[in-house]
Structure 1
Amino acid sequence: MGEPQTATGARTHEVLGLFGFLLVATAQVSNMILARGVAGSVPPFSIAFFRWSIVALGLLPVVVMARREKPAALRGQWPGIALAGFLGMFICGGPVYVAGITTSAINLALIMALSPIVVLLFSFATGRESIARRQIIGMAVALAGALLIITKGQASVGTGLSTGDLLALLAMLGWAGYTLMQNRVGQGVSFLARIGLFAAAGALFSLPFAVHEIWQTPSAAFTGRAALVYLFAGLVPGLFAYGAYAWLGGRFGAVSTSLSLYLGPIVSAVLSILFLGEAPTIIHLIGGALSLGGMYLCLRSKPGEAR
C-alpha cells in the first residue's frame, strides 16, 4: 500500500508544481500583456514607478526583518543593489511599457526569453563557464530565431525593425545583467528581501521620469483606469510573481527557472489571443520554435560534453 501512495503523492507533487509554474509564468508575462494593452494610454514610467513602489512597500516587512536579524549583512552592498535595481527594474520597467506601443506582447515575451543566452555568453567570455558544442549550436539556433522575430522575416537590414523591438532588446540585456548580479549582491539576506531592495532602487530611478510624465499629462496619470493598472502591475507581475517564484524555487529547486522560461512565450501567445486579439504569425511560430529549441540545447547541455 505504501508504494502506490508514494507514487500518487509524487505525481500530485509534480502536477501541483507544474500548475504553480504555469501560474508564475502567467503572472510574469501578464506584464507584457499589460504593456501592449495600455500602450500609450497610461504613462509608461508612471506604471513602472508605482509598480516597483508597491513591490518595495509590500516586501518592506521582509527587508526590515532581514536588517534586524543581520544588521551588517548589507554593509558595502548599496552600490551593487542600486545597479541591480537599475538593470532589472528600471531598464525592464518603463522601456517595456514604451515598447508595447510598437511591438506585440508575443515579440516582447520571445525577446525577453533570450536573456539566459546572453548570461551564458557573458559567463563564457569572462571565463566563469565553459561552453559545450551543443550549447554553441543552441545559441546559433536561438539567435537565428530571435533575428527572424525581430526583423519579421524581412531580408533588408532594418526593414522589419520597430522601436519597440529595440527597446525589448535593451530590456532583455538589462535583465541579463540583473540576472548576473542578483545573487552576487545582498547575499546575506533572503531572495525576497533582495527583491524589495532592488524594487526600491528601481522606483527611485523611475521617479524623475514619472514626475515628468505626471507634470506633462496629469489627466492620463491620475484616472481610475490608471490606478487599476498601477495596482495590477504591482500585485500580479510584481508581488505575486516574485513571491510565488521564491516559494516554488524553495520547494522544487532550480527547475522552476527553466519551466517558467519555456512556458512564458507560450502563455504570452495564449493571453495575446484571449485579451488582445493578437494571434501569433507564422514568423512568431518559426522564430519561437527556433529560439526555444536553441535555449533548450543551451540549458540542457550535459556537463563535460565535448566542446
Structure 2
Amino acid sequence: MTSTAQGRAKLLLWVSPAFISSNYILAKAASGEIAPHLMALIRWSVALCLMGAFSWRQLGQLMRLPAREYLHVLVLGGLGMWICGAFVYEAAFSTSSTNIALIYAVTPVAIAAVNSGASGGTVLPRHWVGMLLALFGVLFVISKGHLGNLSATRLVVGDVWVVVAATAWVAYTLLTQRWPSALDTSTRLCAVTCAGVLILLPCTVIEALHAGQVLLTRRGLLLAAVAGVIPGFVAYKSYAFLIQKLGPAQAGLVMYLSPVYAAAIAWVLLGEAPSWFHFAGAAMILPSIYLVTSQNTRSTEAGR
C-alpha cells in the first residue's frame, strides 16, 4: 500500500465514526415511526441506488463470478445489511442508544483477537494497550465518569438484539477481508448491498403480516432515507476502504470513536452539551488510535 493511500485511510479512520454513530441516533429517533425491517429495507435500497450510480459500469463482472463468491456475497449481505441493520432498529424499541454504543464498543477487541488467532499473527503489546485504553475510555464516557454505574445496567430484550448485531459486525468485518473477491471494493459492496436488500424484502413482508399493519410515517420515511445516505452509503463505503487498506483489526477501531462522535452529534442536533467525562474519555480514546494503527517499522519495510 502506498504511503498516500495509507495516509488517506488513517485520516478516514477518524472521520468514519461520525457516519456510523449517526445510525444510533437515527435508530432511536425512528422508534415508533417506522418498522425496523422496513427502515433497514429503505435504508439499504437508497444506499444501493447511490452505490449503483458509481459502480454500474463494473456490474457486468457479477456475471462472471464463481459460484462460491455468490454465496459469499449472500452471507455478507445477510450479516452486514440484514442483521446489522434491522436488528439495531429492533433493539431501539426497548434499549437506549447508550447500551447500543456500549455493546458495539466491544467489537474492535473481538475483531483483533479473532483475526490474530485465525491468522496466527502477533498482536504487539502496544496494540493491546491501545485497544484496552480505548475500551476504558468508551466505558468511562458511557458511565458518565463513574464506572460503578455500569454494574447497574440491566440486560433487556433490546440488548440481546444488539449483541447479535455486534457479533454479525465482527463476522462481517473479518469475512470481508478473508474471503478473496474478483470484484473491486466498490463493486463488491454494491453486490453485497443488493444481496442484503433481497434478504430484507421477505423479512419486511413477514414483519408487516405479523404486525397486521405497515408502520410508516413521513418522519420515519425521511429518517430511513437519511440512514441510507449517511450510515448506509457513506459509512459502509468508508469502512470497506478501511478494511482493504488497514485490515479488519485497525478498521474495527471506528467503533471506539463512535460514542464520542455520537455525543458531538447529539450536541449539535439536540442541544445536549458534552460534559467533562466526554472530554476525559476522548483523551483516552484518541491516543489509543495511534497506538493500534502504528506499525512496526521493520514489518512495514518487509511488507513492501
Q: Given the two structures, how large is their TM-score scaled by the length of structure 1?
A: 0.72
Task: Report 1:217-296 matches (<5 A).
Answer: 218=213, 220-221=215-216, 223-243=217-237, 254=246, 257=251, 263-276=257-270, 296=290
Task: Point out where structure 2 has 5 or more consecutive residues left out of the alignment.
Answer: 300-304
Secondary structure in 1 matching 2:123: coil
The residue that corresponds to 1:115 in the other structure is 107
- Out of 153, 157, 162, the residue aligned to residue 160 of structure 1 is 153
1:27 aligns with 2:22: no
Q: How does 1:123-134 map to 2 (within 5 A)?
A: 123-134=115-126
Number of aligned pairs? 288
> Which amino acid letter does the alignment assign opposite residue 203 of structure 1?
V
- The 3 A distance-change label for structure 1 pair 259 and 293 is same
1:135 matched to 2:109: no
Q: Where does 1:1-307 land on structure 2 (aligned, <5 Å)? A: 24-60=16-52, 65-69=57-61, 71-109=63-101, 111-144=103-136, 159-163=152-156, 164-185=158-179, 187-215=181-209, 216=211, 218=213, 220-221=215-216, 223-243=217-237, 254=246, 257=251, 263-276=257-270, 296-300=290-294, 302=296
Q: Which moved more, 1:275-284 or 1:21-30?
A: 275-284
Moved more, 22-31 or 41-50: 22-31
Q: CA deviation at 1:130?
A: 0.8
Inter-CA distance 83–133: structure 2 relative to 1 (3 Å threshold): same
Supply the RMSD in Å over aligned alpha carbons: 4.1
Instruction: Report the alpha carbon displacement of residue 264 of structure 1 after superposing the two structures with TM.
Output: 3.3
Note the residue ranges of structure 1 that are not aligned, 5 or more in a row: 1-9
Q: Which residue of 2 aligns with 1:3?
A: none
Q: Look up the equivalent residue of 1:275 and give its one-letter code.
A: L
Q: Distance in 2 between matches of 1:71 and 1:209?
A: 26
Bigger Rg, structure 1 or 2 = 1
C-alpha deviation, 1:37, in angstroms: 1.5
Change (3 A) 1:209 1:148: farther
1:241–1:298 Cα change, 3 Å:
closer
Q: CA deviation at 1:234?
A: 1.5
CA distance in 1, matches of 2:85, 2:62: 30
Separation of aligned partners in 1, 2:95 and 2:81: 20
Which amino acid letter does the alignment assign opposite residue 131 of structure 1? V
State the identity as a percent: 29
Q: CA deviation at 1:293?
A: 5.4
With over 3 angstroms needed to count, the CA separation of the structure-2 counterparts of 1:301 and 1:265, relative to structure 1, is farther
| Structure 2 Cα separation of the partners of residues 183 and 64 of structure 1 | 23
Separation (CA, whole Å) in 2 of partners of 1:69 and 1:175 = 26
Is the 1:36–1:100 contact (alpha carbons within 8 Å) kept by the matching residues of 2? Answer: yes
Bigger drift between 272-281 and 184-193 goes to 272-281
Q: Measured at CA, do residues 99 and 289 of structure 1 come closer, stay the same or move farther in structure 2, by a change above 3 Å?
A: farther
Instruction: Assess if the C-alpha contact under 8 Å between 1:86 and 1:201 holds in 2.
Output: yes
Query: Do the aligned partners of residues 290 and 197 (structure 1) sit closer, same or farther apart at CA in structure 2, a change above 3 Å counting?
Result: same
Q: Flag the 1:131–1:247 CA change in 2: closer, same or farther, 3 A.
A: closer
Name the TM-score, length of structure 2 as normaliser: 0.73
Query: Aligned AA for 1:238?
Result: G
Amino acid at match of 2:266: S
User: By how many angstroms is 1:180 displaced?
Assistant: 0.8
CA distance in 2, matches of 1:90, 1:282: 37
Distance 1:277 1:232 in 2: 20
Q: Given the superposition, is the C-alpha separation of residues 156 and 237 from structure 1 closer, same or farther in structure 2, using an over 3 Å criterion? A: closer
